[in-house]
Amino acid sequence: MKFERSSGILLHPTSLPGPYGIGDIGPGAKVWVDFLTNAGIGLWQVLPLGPTGYGDSPYQCFSAFAGNPYLISPDALKADGILSDADIQPLPAFPTNRVDFGWVINWKVKLLEKAFSNFSSRSFPELKAEFARFQSENASWLQDYGLFMAIKDDHAGQPWTTWEQPLRDRHLDALNEAGNRLRTEIVRQMFWQFLFFRQWSAVVHYAHSKNIKIIGDIPIFVAHDSADVWSHRELFFLDKRGRPTVVAGVPPDYFSPTGQLWGNPLYKWSIHKKTGYAWWISRFKAVLKLVDIVRLDHFRGFSGYWEVPGKAKTAEKGRWLPGPGKHFIRAVQDGLGSLPIIAEDLGVITPDVVELRDSFHLPGMKILQFAFDGDGKHAFLPHNYIPNCVAYTGTHDNDTALGWYERAAENEKDFYRKYFERDGSTFAWDLIRGVWGSVAVFGLAPMQDFLNLNNVARMNYPGNPSGNWSWRMQSNSLDPQLAAKIRHLNLLYNRLKV
């Protein structure tokens, strides 16, 4: 797919302002879309939208197909008559600058349980017909997901590998017994999925009406404790008890002397190939029902990936193995008809990765914040970009622009000051201008950089098991003057969407 020159802002829905302790996909999301429209922005980038588990990471979800019920909007449920003001009040005094996940999840689950109770006990003929259609249209993954989550709740949230052996190994009689015993809980989980998809679809429709496209994200790996692995064990390297025999990670480098041990189970690519990559194609199609463009995370893993023994404590001892390569990308292309994909090609990129990316004309990523530790030949400096790339000031995985500058080595600061002929007082906006003025087809920045926020607003520290993903934007941040400033920049650099 050929992209058109445009600009975008990276902001996950959890970071949206609102009174309910976590950003959601109700009226506040439409206010955000209005801000993007006023700013002349054509792209809204989000992180994975799946149901988060341990560590609240959108990259470790209970399903690669499901949506995150914590994003469901109470206001939208009130508008549908599923909840009343009395159901929501009294509202806890949630912090407005961050998500307190433990607090808000406990409150929101009870609220969603009330919504299901109201829906089940009252007459909603149109909604119930719509829910029935949703179940039918998503039967390929929804029933397994609902059953997985219901059994998991019945086991106090314990991983599926700790369940009784018949449930762990999906014996038919055990699944039927659990399905009958937990029928209400299963339907409740499916109902929450219905609400998520219904609300998100309304947000997407509204964005499209404003000529805004949404960039989503597909993590290359899935969480071990997920409906995907439990229900498709044949696609992963697991032992007889369902535990990974080998796991994903990256080897030691300059930034991490012991590497990064991600712990996700690795794919049996030979089995995927025999099926024509059916599971992967279904995954792409599911995500592309939610978004318009997909950032394919850890793209280099499709060319070659680092395999670590399942019981390893670090990623130091492992080996490189070939990924599925061109055969996989070609199968995805045949399944989709086009490739609305951005290749996340960061890290140590070898010629085989470049060749795989370029063979399918996929745009890679450039991160301007990383460009100041060398000389004028650095590939991430704007004068070295090519049109078929996507340029960022930074991403969710690194510090905010201001946070970086406040901690950067003096030689890097000096290179930046000489490159832009600036004194450092407008660093974040200098990076934005550098990206926007480049030939890159898409120029993007996290909302934190437009707000010139420091390290306190950082979204994620890779490798930290907790304390991430919690930053929230304040409601007064969506300032008309800021929108006008961004719109002027889009006009100057031919990225304006009207």
State which residues form the domain around 485. 6-63+205-492
User: Domains in the chain: how many in total?
Assistant: 1
Supply the CATH number for residue 291's domain. Answer: 3.20.20.80
Task: Retrieve residue 116's tokens.
Answer: 């299901």
Distance, CA of 448 to CA of 455 (rounded, Å): 10
In a domain, 238, yes or no: yes
In a domain, 176, yes or no: no
Q: Provide the pLDDT for residue 465.
A: 74
Question: Across-strand partners of 365?
Answer: 390
Annotated catalytic residue, options 297, 307, 399, 449: 297
Task: Retrieve residue 202's tokens.
Answer: 């309304």
The sign of the torsion formed by the CA atoms of 463, 72, 67, 226 equals positive
Residue of 296, 105, 107, 131 whose CA lies nearest to 219: 296
Distance, CA of 89 to CA of 222 (rounded, Å): 37
Q: Provide the pLDDT for residue 462.
A: 84
Catalytic site includes residue 397: yes
What are the two backbone dihedrals, phi and then psi, of residue 343, each rounded to the nearest 5 degrees? -85, 115
In sequence order, what are the residues at sequence separation of 6 or more whose Cβ sits closer than 8 angstroms to the Cβ of residue 398? 367, 369, 370, 404
For the chain (498 residues), the mean pLDDT of every run of 10, in chain order, is 95 98 98 98 98 93 98 98 96 96 97 98 96 98 98 98 98 98 98 98 98 98 98 98 96 82 96 98 97 97 97 95 97 93 92 96 97 96 98 97 97 98 97 98 98 97 86 97 98 94
pTM beyond 0.95? yes
Residue type, 334: D
In sequence order, what are the residues at sequence separation of 6 or more whose Cβ sits closer than 8 angstroms to the Cβ of residue 213? 6, 42, 43, 44, 207, 292, 293
In a domain, 199, yes or no: no
Distance, CA of 363 to CA of 451 (rounded, Å): 27
Catalytic site includes residue 4: no
In a domain, 73, yes or no: no
Q: Provide the pLDDT for residue 255.
A: 65
Distance, CA of 498 to CA of 495 (rounded, Å): 10
Radius of gyration of the chain (CA): 23
In a domain, 127, yes or no: no
In sequence order, what are the residues at sequence separation of 6 or more whose Cβ sits closer than 8 angstroms to the Cβ of residue 305? 248, 266, 320, 321, 323
Annotated catalytic residue, options 344, 399, 430, 449: 344
In a domain, 105, yes or no: no
Task: Retrieve residue 429's tokens.
Answer: 């906006």
Q: Pairing relation of β-strands 319-322 and 442-446?
A: unpaired
Q: Do the Cβ atoms of 332 and 339 come closer than 8 Å? A: yes
Catalytic site includes residue 344: yes
In a domain, 212, yes or no: yes
DSSP three-state, residue 8: strand
Q: Which residue has the tokens 């795989």?
A: 356
Residue type, 396: H
Q: What's the half-sphere exposure (Cβ side, CA atoms, 13 Å) at 92?
A: 16
Annotated catalytic residue, options 34, 154, 169, 397: 397
Instruction: Residue 42: count other Cβ atoms within 10 Å of its Cβ.
Output: 22
In a domain, 498, yes or no: no
